[in-house]
Chains A and B, each alone.
Chain A
Amino acid sequence: MNSEIIGVILTFILTLVIAFPLGKYIAKVFQGERTITDFLTPVERFIYRICGIDPHKEMNWKQHMAALLSINLVWLIYAFFILLFQSHLPLNPDGNPDMTPDLAFNTAISFLVNCNLQHYSGETGVTYLSQLIVITFLQFVSAATGVAAVAVLFRAFAEKTTEKLGNFFVFFTKTITRILLPLSIIMAVILAFNGTPASFDGKDSIVTLQGDSVQVSRGPAAGMIAIKHLGTNGGGWFGTNSAHPLENPNYFTNVVEIVAQVILPMALIFAFGFFIRRKKLGYVIFGVMTAGMLTLMIPNMISEISGNPLLHHLGLKDITAMEGKEVRIGVPASAYWQVMTTIISTGSVNSMHDSSMPLSGAMQMLGMMTNCFYGGKGVGLLNYFIFLIIAVFISGLMVGRTPEFMGRKVEAREMKIAAIIALFHPFLILVGTALSAYFAAHHPQMAWSVQPANWFNNPSNHGFSEMLYEYTSSSANNGSGFEGLADNNIFWNISTGIVMILGRFIPIIGPVAIAGILAKKKYIPESAGTLQTDTTTFGIMTYAVIMIVAALAFFPALTLGPIAEYFQSY
């Protein structure tokens, strides 16, 4: 077996080895049990005191959501205005300009919702101050928001009948002090020692060996790159994200970065099992998600490793698909990253997805369309929970029983919410794509700053894929892109901004509401007739539900994009 395949397998094993104990640790943190980070307790008490938070006041699910939305509103307004006036603020050694209002709208939402779609390029679009007090700040707090939301789910199923589901601000604060910040510090130091810049110096001017004058962008990037992965955010310091040789200097940092983005989503699944004292349920969920990951990973890997048929037509023997990829990373590690970053909603890239092979593009989009295999920080498990409820309902109907989950009856109200959430994601993606396709097809000469006819970097079906990918990434809060799309203009900034914000908060509120409603219900002890949700059979059922919903919703759109392109290329 060659060294590049071994590298990918090692990476996955390393991820598991770290994620499992981390899951135990996270469960303990939220249970308030003793952990090695207890020395931070006085710091947290200090935070609660100066911020006027009563950590012992428990909230019901509605209060949780009110607190979550309040603090997010504060961040949105704050981020928007900083970006709008960034050139007038300090720490701008490269002299970068203010953002236009539509770009600031898009960027503020993008980082607020953990999406990190970037319609600007890091070297020229933001100042160092914005990179730190807007981008890096939001990368921490948006990740912590997701974890705080999923912690409600943990609490809802840990006890029998309860309305008290912990305190949002406590979950949020502990996520930062005990999980994200310590891990980020470790990772940022690793990156800095491997050549990622961390100082505040601006662009450097050099004369190259051959005699060209070049400017080299730098900046305090290491800290941001750490949280961008640990928080499944994905927005890069530099324009080309983790393909950039300063953002991802060697194979080792590539392993560190891809492991960092997957460990917390995985750990949260194990933490769920430990927290509700049903380890087996955690393992079954992990198994289903891993099966889902492999369903996308294997075709993607094969299609990338098989190479680019175009090069064959042009008479080359070596047809390695190196367009948009880096030599130090190589094809298998790029393909592995392509799938991981799309299923877990990070959206950082170490290769240009727009240049990947047609079938890989389809797998990347499917990863975001399902959006629950491991999934984003907190929200992956929440999305999965929706499919789980639907699977419970369908199984219940099949065997002719009232559907139950964890000792609570699943009734009409919960099912309505679950169905709406499951359909909302395809709705956002398909409506957005249809709208943009309409303009591209019927009004290509529209008098906009960028005419729809000029949106695309690639013609035909691949051009359609560029639009489909953009809305899929926005709604899934992923943030990667087929970056050939000319997206920094009013149409794309506003439309994807709206899709991102809806695609974030509705799928958080829905599952939390279901969990809150179920938690309040009377607990029915298990009997011989109870549907067992921690069995392989039920796992397969959930997997089938996820895949059928995705296939029904997205197959037509994928046919017009990557699938048609595939048949033209081969």
Chain B
Amino acid sequence: MKKYIWPSVKLTIFMILVLAVLYPALIAAVSKAAPGQGKGKTISVNGKVVGYENVGQKFTDDKYFNGRPSAVDYNAASSAGSNKAASNPDYQKLVQERIDTFLIHNPGINREDIPAELVTASGSGLDPDISPAAAMIQIKRVAAARHLSENKVMALVSDHIRGPWLGMAGPAKVNVLKLNIALDTLK
């Protein structure tokens, strides 16, 4: 083995330079031309950054559309899922509590109509989206909290639904942050 060690060391040094220095530097340079300059796409309101388009944030206020439960309370510096198994009795209690809380905040909604994603934690704890159904079911509450007509809020939600990729593959979704920003401008 001895005779292979020295070429191995030299090859290693060369490859570190190419793969761990030049390659990331190249990608960083190219990404300057990308939206967000490779730092992540941010969204500003009145010139102030209020969030990242792709990173979900916490909305608990009744006058905002709420996102999904998060195992890390939307801490974007420490992503994690709950890793709870469906068979776990503690987990069953937790979901039950989420359902009860949702019903308190959304009077007039039937338990059986609650979309599953609103009572289950996302994989990353930072899911920026909800499904169209999960947005629709919150319209009543949001409209009441803001003294707006439900039709107006409904129209806004419809505008913010992004259909499947290429119009045919994958789920439809609504970006919660973008929807809420638009909601704040609604009179």
Contact = CB atoms under 8 A, between A and B. Distances in A.
Interface of A: 3-4, 6-7, 10, 47, 50-53, 66-67, 69-71, 73-75, 78, 94, 121, 123-124, 132-133, 136-137, 140-141, 169, 172-173, 176, 181, 184-185, 188-189, 192-193, 195, 197-201, 203-204, 206-210, 212, 214-218, 220, 222-224, 238-240, 243-246, 249-252, 254-255, 307-311, 313-330, 333, 349-352, 354-355, 357-358, 457-462, 482-484, 565, 568-569
A7 B165 contact: yes
Contact of A199 (B18, B37, B124, B184): B37
Contacts of A94: 77
A132 B56 contact: no
B172 to A, nearest CB: 8
5 contacts: A169-B11, A197-B31, A243-B124, A308-B116, A314-B99
Contacts of A320: 115-117
Contacts of B56: 245
Nearest to B99: A314
Contacts of A329: 170-171
B50 to A, nearest CB: 5
Given A10-B168, A307-B116, 13 more contacts: A70-B1, A124-B78, A210-B60, A210-B61, A217-B77, A223-B23, A245-B124, A251-B169, A316-B112, A323-B86, A327-B117, A327-B127, A355-B81
Interface in B1-53: 1, 4-12, 14-16, 18-21, 23-24, 26-28, 30-32, 34-42, 45, 48-53
A355 B85 contact: yes
Interface string B55-78: 111111100100010000011111
Given A206-B50, A317-B113, A333-B170, A324 B83 contact: yes
A133 B20 contact: yes
A338 to B, nearest CB: 11
A326 B30 CA distance: 29
Nearest to B174: A327
A56 to B, nearest CB: 14
Contacts of B76: 214-217
B31 A199 contact: yes
Contacts of A189: 27, 30-31
B19 A136 contact: yes
A388 B32 CA distance: 49
B169 A6 contact: yes
Contacts of B21: 132-133
A173 B26 CA distance: 20
A548 B173 CA distance: 43
Contacts of A3: 164, 168-172
Contact of B121 (A133, A192, A324): A324
Contact of A352 (B7, B82, B111, B171): B82
Given A198-B28, A245-B128, A204 B74 contact: no
Contacts of A51: 7, 10-11, 14
Contacts of A461: 87
- Chain A to chain B: the 6 pairs with minimum beta-carbon distance, closest first: A243-B123, A7-B169, A484-B83, A198-B31, A352-B81, A70-B4
Q: Which bucket holds chain B's interface residue count? A: 35 or more
A32 to B, nearest CB: 20
A66 B40 CA distance: 44
B52 A309 contact: no
B60 A192 contact: no
Contacts of B164: 3-4, 7, 251
A421 to B, nearest CB: 22
A310 B89 CA distance: 10
Given A208-B50, A216-B40, A310-B95, A315 B86 contact: no
Given A198-B27, A249-B54, A323-B120, A137 B19 contact: yes
Contacts of A184: 23
B79 interface: yes
Contacts of A7: 164-165, 168-170
B106 interface: no
Contact of A192 (B30, B50, B127): B30
Contacts of B184: 209
Given A7-B170, A354-B83, A223 B27 contact: yes
B1 to A, nearest CB: 5
B57 A212 contact: yes
Contacts of B23: 136, 181, 184-185, 223
A199 B39 contact: yes
A21 B73 CA distance: 46
A207 B58 CA distance: 11
B122 A214 contact: no
Given A208-B51, A209-B51, A307-B116, A70 B170 contact: no
